[in-house]
């Protein structure tokens, strides 16, 4: 018996030994066989990787501007220059804002965005980009000055019209179209991610189908996208506006910017519109959309004025020759947009007052305030024209992502609150979707839509734009009354591998990059 048990022990040992021989090295062992020196260790966090997958416990190692490892780290076997204890915290990719505003030469830090977790902003929206025939000149200025978040840049269709001398002309010649196409082509070659349109604004509104299709073909040739502030976001105009965009979608990826239905209501209406997009996808059109989590839009007061009261027409003349007609138009238009109480002005000297208040104070009808005191270019405002149920149905759709449409200076809370509000309100208070899904809508979905293949996920090889935070503590502080309050709760914001905001303070140099494709 003794001999048998001795043999058995020997056999077991041999087996154990041979098993150990065959055991595959762990990913961490493979890593440290290649390198052991890292820049940052983010230790013991719960990783929400941006894909929508369930959160998991992991350590993250960064080397340079990239993610070098995601998994269990043995700290005794490596060296690192910076240690971040993420115990009890969520680690996610930095948020990507698909539609933002602002001037990097004036506010290069964009702290409002960093404070709400945004590490990449998209500019050149609504048909307007900096007026440079060669966008590279502008890129050089940005790179000289430095920019804190990364920048995804688009070229504006309205700007193309200006640069090519077409401007307000509804019927450009072949030659002018070609000129516009050439400027577009150059911008796409310089790295812009696509073109934007602002068909509700002048001069974009003068662009017709032939022109837009001509440009869409060029965008498509470069495998890039058109983001569109559509021609008309009013309830009864939505179908036409979308079908105009889908026409361009035959040639390139198209994207509905800040999708909304002005004075439309209800879940059913939202499903009708989502259904149009879904059907287009079945026909092979690539179409996506973004929304912001507020019920008021924000733009120039010109949005309520008719085209004939705006450039190239002379407003002073219109005021004299067509005043009654203009008054009737404004009265009807503003009333349809929920009335003067639903227009909150954001420009001095009316900042913070509704159009109804200003009218009352000046003792005249609101349309006369608009005509005499403000004018089509005289102010910006927030317009409470959206229905909560409808917008929330949009935001739940799997191909709808989050944008702010905000800026450092706009008098609307979306510029300082959007991404925090999505977590605070949509995830925790209303439970519209999980934290993982919310983060997917703010990271990988946006990155993939814009063709940014190296961002938007916590994954080896991706660029290290990373947030470390406690989701329950995230708060959007901005309100309509005080829209400039920074969001709270994002303890660390890393951009391209470096900490750029820590416990409410900006740190280090600006190291954002222009994400050229
Ligand atoms: Zn817009």
Instruction: Write the pLDDT tens digit of every residue in 149-174.
Output: 999 999 999 999 999 999 999 999 99
Q: What are phi and psi of 323, to 5 degrees?
A: -60, -45
Strand, coil or helix: what is 471?
Answer: helix
**Cα 403 to ligand 1 centroid, rounded to whole Å:** 11
Q: How far apart are CA 303 and CA 308, in angstroms?
A: 12
**Cα 76 to ligand 1 centroid, rounded to whole Å:** 52
Q: Say what the pLDDT of residue 4 is.
A: 52
Cα 233 to chain centroid, rounded: 19
Q: How far apart are CA 492 and CA 149, in angstroms?
A: 14
**Cα 144 to ligand 1 centroid, rounded to whole Å:** 29
**Cα 467 to ligand 1 centroid, rounded to whole Å:** 28
**Cα 431 to ligand 1 centroid, rounded to whole Å:** 28
Question: Given the structure tokens 């495998």, which residue do they identify?
Answer: 223
**Cα 242 to ligand 1 centroid, rounded to whole Å:** 15
Q: How far apart are CA 364 and CA 461, in angstroms?
A: 63
Q: Say what the pLDDT of residue 63 is.
A: 98
Q: Say what the pLDDT of residue 23 is.
A: 86
Residue 12: band (very low, low, confident or very high) from pLDDT cuts 50, 70, 90: low
**Cα 198 to ligand 1 centroid, rounded to whole Å:** 7
Residue 1: band (very low, low, confident or very high) from pLDDT cuts 50, 70, 90: very low
Question: Averaged over 435-464, what is the pLDDT?
Answer: 98
Q: How far apart are CA 98 and CA 255, in angstroms?
A: 10
**Cα 345 to ligand 1 centroid, rounded to whole Å:** 17
Question: Given the structure tokens 């138009």, which residue do they identify?
Answer: 329
Give me the residues paired with residue 300 across strands.
Answer: 380
Percent with pLDDT over 70 in the chain: 96
pLDDT of 21 strictly over 90: no
Cis peptide bond prior to 398, omega within 30° of 0: no
**Cα 142 to ligand 1 centroid, rounded to whole Å:** 23
**Cα 100 to ligand 1 centroid, rounded to whole Å:** 9
Residues with CB under 5 A from ligand 1 (ion): 126, 229
**Cα 49 to ligand 1 centroid, rounded to whole Å:** 30
**More confident position, 344 or 5:** 344
**Cα 253 to ligand 1 centroid, rounded to whole Å:** 18
Percent with pLDDT over 90 in the chain: 95
pLDDT of 208 strictly over 50: yes
**Cα 257 to ligand 1 centroid, rounded to whole Å:** 7
Give 76's Cβ-side CA count (13 Å radius).
Answer: 0
Cis peptide bond prior to 349, omega within 30° of 0: yes
The chain-wide mean pLDDT, for the chain, equals: 95
Question: Averaged over 51-59, what is the pLDDT?
Answer: 98
pLDDT of 8 strictly over 80: no
Task: Find the range with the poorest average confidence among 8-22, 98-112, 414-428.
Answer: 8-22
**Cα 254 to ligand 1 centroid, rounded to whole Å:** 15
Query: Each residue of 183-215: b (16+ CB within 10 Å) or e?
Result: bbbebbebebbbbbbbbbbbbbbbbeeebbebb
**Cα 397 to ligand 1 centroid, rounded to whole Å:** 20
**Cα 99 to ligand 1 centroid, rounded to whole Å:** 8
Closest CA to 193 of 157, 224, 158, 149: 224
pLDDT of 60 strictly over 90: yes
Q: How far apart are CA 36 and CA 365, in angstroms?
A: 73
Cα–Cα distances in angstroms (integers) from residue 412 to residues 21, 221, 297, in the given order: 63, 37, 8
**Cα 218 to ligand 1 centroid, rounded to whole Å:** 22
Closest CA to 256 of 212, 284, 286: 286
pTM (predicted TM-score): 0.93
**Cα 256 to ligand 1 centroid, rounded to whole Å:** 10
Question: Averaged over 291-319, what is the pLDDT?
Answer: 95
Integer-rounded Cα radius of gyration of the chain: 26
Which residues are CB-contacts of 475 (< 8 A; sequence separation ≥ 6)?
420, 424, 487, 488, 489
Q: How far apart are CA 482 and CA 137, in angstroms?
A: 36
């Amino acid at each position: 018996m003794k001999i048998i048990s001795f043999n058995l022990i020997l056999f077991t040992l041999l087996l154990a030994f041979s098993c150990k021989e065959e055991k595959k090295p762990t990913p961490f062992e493979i890593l440290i066989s290649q390198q052991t020196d890292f820049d940052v260790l983010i230790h013991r966090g719960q990783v929400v990787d941006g894909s929508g997958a369930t959160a998991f416990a992991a350590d993250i190692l960064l080397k340079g501007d990239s993610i070098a490892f995601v998994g269990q780290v043995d700290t005794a076997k490596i060296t690192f220059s910076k240690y971040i204890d993420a115990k009890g915290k969520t680690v996610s990719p930095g948020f990507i804002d698909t539609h933002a505003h602002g001037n990097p030469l004036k506010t290069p830090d964009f702290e409002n965005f960093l404070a709400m977790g945004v590490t990449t902003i998209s500019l050149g929206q609504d048909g307007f980009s900096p007026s440079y025939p060669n966008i590279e000149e502008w890129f050089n200025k940005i790179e000289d000055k430095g920019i804190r978040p990364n920048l995804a840049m688009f070229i504006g269709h309205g700007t193309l019209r200006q640069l090519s001398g077409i401007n307000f002309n509804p019927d450009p010649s072949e030659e002018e179209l070609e000129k516009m196409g050439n400027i577009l082509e150059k911008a796409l070659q310089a790295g812009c991610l696509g073109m934007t349109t602002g068909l509700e604004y002048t001069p974009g509104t003068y662009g017709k189908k032939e022109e837009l299709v001509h440009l869409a073909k060029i965008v498509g040739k470069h495998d890039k996208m058109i983001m569109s502030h559509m021609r008309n976001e009013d309830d009864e105009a939505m179908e036409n506006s979308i079908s105009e965009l889908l026409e361009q979608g035959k040639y390139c990826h198209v994207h509905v910017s800040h999708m909304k239905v002005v004075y439309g209501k209800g879940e059913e209406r939202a499903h009708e519109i989502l259904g149009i997009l879904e059907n287009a996808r079945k026909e092979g059109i690539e179409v996506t959309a973004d929304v912001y989590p507020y019920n008021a839009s924000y733009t120039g007061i010109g949005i309520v004025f008719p085209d004939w009261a705006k450039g190239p027409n002379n407003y002073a003349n219109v005021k004299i020759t067509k005043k009654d007609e203009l008054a009737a138009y404004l009265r009807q238009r503003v009333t349809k947009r929920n009335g003067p109480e639903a227009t909150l002005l954001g420009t001095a000297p009316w900042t913070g007052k509704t159009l109804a208040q200003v009218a009352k104070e000046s003792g005249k009808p609101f349309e006369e305030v608009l005509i005499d005191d403000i004018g089509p270019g005289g102010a910006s405002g927030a317009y409470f024209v959206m229905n909560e149920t409808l917008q929330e149905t949009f935001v739940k759709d799997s191909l709808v992502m989050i944008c702010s449409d905000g800026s450092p200076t706009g008098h609307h809370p979306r510029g300082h609150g959007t991404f925090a509000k999505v977590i605070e309100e949509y995830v925790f208070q209303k439970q519209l979707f999980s934290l993982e899904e919310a983060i997917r809508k703010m990271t990988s979905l946006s990155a993939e839509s814009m063709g940014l293949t190296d961002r938007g996920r916590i994954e080896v090889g991706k660029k290290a734009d990373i947030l470390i935070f406690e989701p329950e503590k995230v708060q959007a502080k901005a309100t309509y009354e005080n829209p400039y309050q920074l969001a709270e709760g994002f303890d660390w914001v890393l951009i391209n591998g470096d900490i750029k905001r820590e416990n409410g303070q900006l740190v280090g140099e600006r190291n954002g990059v222009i994400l050229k494709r």
